[in-house]
């Protein structure tokens, strides 16, 4: 078994099952990657000496299709996700999936960035393609290591999440008055009152509106985190919501974007439909809300997601004044 330096990187030529066993030949961009793969196949040969798996010659499109059949259909927007993956496959020229090199992927990503695609979008693409390999490895459909496992996301500059002030909210509702979409006003009130995504509010069913004595609640299903969550609301909002079975609203995301345009409220690119969620969270913290409670309301799986709103708390980081070394001089 040998690893040799060649023009395109490091060439691995190995027979981990012995001289009469399967021969593995691959080229890696770095010696470290070649060595890690060699260690992997040697370990596999030791653990499963009877299993000389045939080289997997399936192309990237084939494993994407396989992933979709076995798992991808469970996504919230499966067809949209599949279309994104298909576009990646075409851009990468549909290589043999096992032989996709990290350097090939990063070179393609670099061209994407040069063409004006945002780093955030390229990070999402990387996560998506890595997930295809990882899921098929998890269920045993793929026996080799993820070829792009070591490709890192691009570090992003954290941007400030925009939110609406009280005056902005008044201007927004004034713009909504002229909207043709009859559901827009109450959907906007639901989002501002609960921190729901606009898609979650639009997907509400009659059974999701709960009244128990003097308590009123909304249960959001089909959420991004795939977990239902229930948020209390006041009576006035409850009274404004239609009382019927089945779907309560139709999609009004475009109508909301048009209302924002009419209001002349300036928002950062990409934050239009999420601004109501950000507004709820920001005002919640500014009014003294608890960050752990906010995590539950928003349905964040990790507290790190919610911590982006922590600085809105009136007392956030006040200990920097009380506990700094100049304010606590040694005697």
Q: In this predicted model, what pLDDT tens digit does every residue of 245-301 receive, in sequence order?
A: 999 999 999 999 999 999 999 988 878 889 999 999 999 999 999 999 999 999 999
Same domain, 299 and 181: yes
In a domain, 11, yes or no: yes
The single-letter DSSP state of residue 163 is -
Residues 34 and 81 reside in one and the same domain: no
Instruction: Give the active site residue among 211, 224, 235, 254.
Output: 224
The answer to whether residue 295 is domain-embedded is: yes
In a domain, 321, yes or no: no
| Claim to verify: residue 250 and residue 134 sit in the same structural domain | no
Tens digits of pLDDT across the chain (331 residues) = 688 999 889 998 888 877 767 788 888 889 988 888 888 878 877 776 545 556 789 999 999 999 999 999 988 789 999 999 999 999 999 999 999 999 999 999 999 999 999 898 999 999 999 999 999 999 989 988 999 999 999 988 766 778 999 999 999 999 999 999 999 999 999 999 999 999 999 999 999 999 999 999 999 998 888 889 999 999 999 999 999 999 999 999 999 999 999 999 998 887 888 999 999 999 999 999 999 999 999 999 999 999 989 888 877 667 776 666 776 655 4
Q: CATH number for the domain including 261?
A: 1.10.443.10
Both 131 and 261 in a single domain? no
Shared domain for 6 and 120, answered yes or no, is no
* CA neighbor of 99 nearest in space, from 43, 60, 140, 143: 60
Active site residue 258: no
Residues 126 and 178 in one domain: no
Beta bridge partners of 211: 216
Catalytic annotation present for 277: yes
Decide if 328 is inside a domain: no
Write down the catalytic residue from 277, 278, 283, 302: 277
Question: Within this chain, do residues 306 and 186 fall inside the same structural domain, yes or no?
Answer: yes
Distance between CA 308 and CA 323 in Å, rounded? 23
Length of the chain: 331
Of the residues 15, 84, 300, 316, only one is catalytic, namely 300
The reported pTM is: 0.65
Residue 278 in domain:
yes
- Name the nearest CA neighbour of 65 among 30, 97, 102: 97
* 278 plus 210 within the same structural domain: yes
Spell out where 41-153 has E strands. none
Q: Does a structural domain hold residue 52?
A: no
Q: Are residues 22 and 125 in the same domain?
A: no
Q: Is residue 152 part of a domain?
A: no
Backbone phi and psi for residue 247, each to the nearest 5 degrees, phi listed first: -60, 140
Are residues 298 and 226 part of one domain?
A: yes
Residue 247 has what DSSP assignment? B
Number of domains forming the structure of the chain: 3
From 197, 229, 278, 283, active-site residue: 197
- Is 53 part of a structural domain of the chain? no
Q: Which helix (H) or strand (E) holds 107?
A: helix 102-114
Which residue range forms the structural domain that includes residue 194?
166-312
**Do 220 and 305 fall into the same domain?**
yes
Indicate if 111 and 174 belong to the same structural domain: no
**Catalytic: 224?**
yes
In the residue annotation, 10 being an active-site residue is answered as no
Residue 166 is a catalytic residue? no
What's the 3-state SS for 260-293? Answer: HHHHCCCCCCCCCCCHHHHHHHHHHHHCCCCHHH
The sheet with strand 209-212 has its strands ordered as 209-212, 215-220, 229-233
């Amino acid at each position: 078994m040998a690893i040799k330096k060649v023009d395109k990187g490091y060439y691995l030529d190995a027979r981990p099952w012995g001289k009469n066993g399967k021969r593995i030949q691959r080229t890696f961009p770095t010696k470290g990657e070649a060595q890690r793969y060699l260690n992997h196949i040697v370990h596999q040969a030791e653990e499963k000496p009877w299993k000389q798996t045939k080289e997997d010659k399936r192309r990237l499109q084939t494993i994407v299709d396989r992933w979709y059949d076995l798992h991808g259909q469970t996504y919230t927007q499966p067809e949209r996700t599949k279309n994104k993956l298909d576009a990646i496959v075409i851009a990468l020229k549909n290589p043999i999936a096992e032989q996709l090199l990290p350097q090939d992927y990063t070179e393609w990503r670099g061209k994407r960035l040069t063409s004006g695609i945002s780093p955030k979008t390229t990070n999402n693409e990387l996560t998506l393609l890595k997930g295809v390999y990882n899921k098929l490895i998890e269920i045993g459909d793929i026996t080799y290591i993820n070829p792009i496992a070591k490709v890192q996301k691009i570090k992003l500059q954290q941007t400030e999440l925009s939110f609406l002030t009280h005056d902005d909210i008044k201007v927004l509702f004034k713009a909504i008055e002229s909207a043709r979409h009859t559901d827009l006003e109450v959907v906007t009130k639901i989002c501002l009152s609960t921190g729901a995504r606009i898609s979650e509010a639009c997907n509400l069913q009659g059974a999701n509106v709960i009244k128990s004595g003097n308590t009123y609640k909304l249960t959001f299903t089909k959420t991004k985190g795939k977990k239902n969550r229930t948020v209390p609301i006041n009576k006035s909002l409850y009274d404004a919501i239609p009382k019927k079975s089945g779907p309560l609203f139709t999609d009004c995301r475009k109508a909301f974007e048009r209302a924002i345009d009419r209001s002349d409220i300036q928002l950062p690119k990409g934050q239009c439909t999420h601004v109501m969620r950000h507004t709820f969270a920001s005002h919640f913290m500014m009014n003294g809300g608890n960050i752990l409670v906010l995590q539950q309301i928003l349905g964040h799986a990790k507290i790190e997601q919610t911590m982006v709103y922590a600085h809105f708390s009136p007392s956030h980081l006040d200990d920097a004044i009380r506990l700094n070394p100049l304010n606590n001089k040694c005697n």
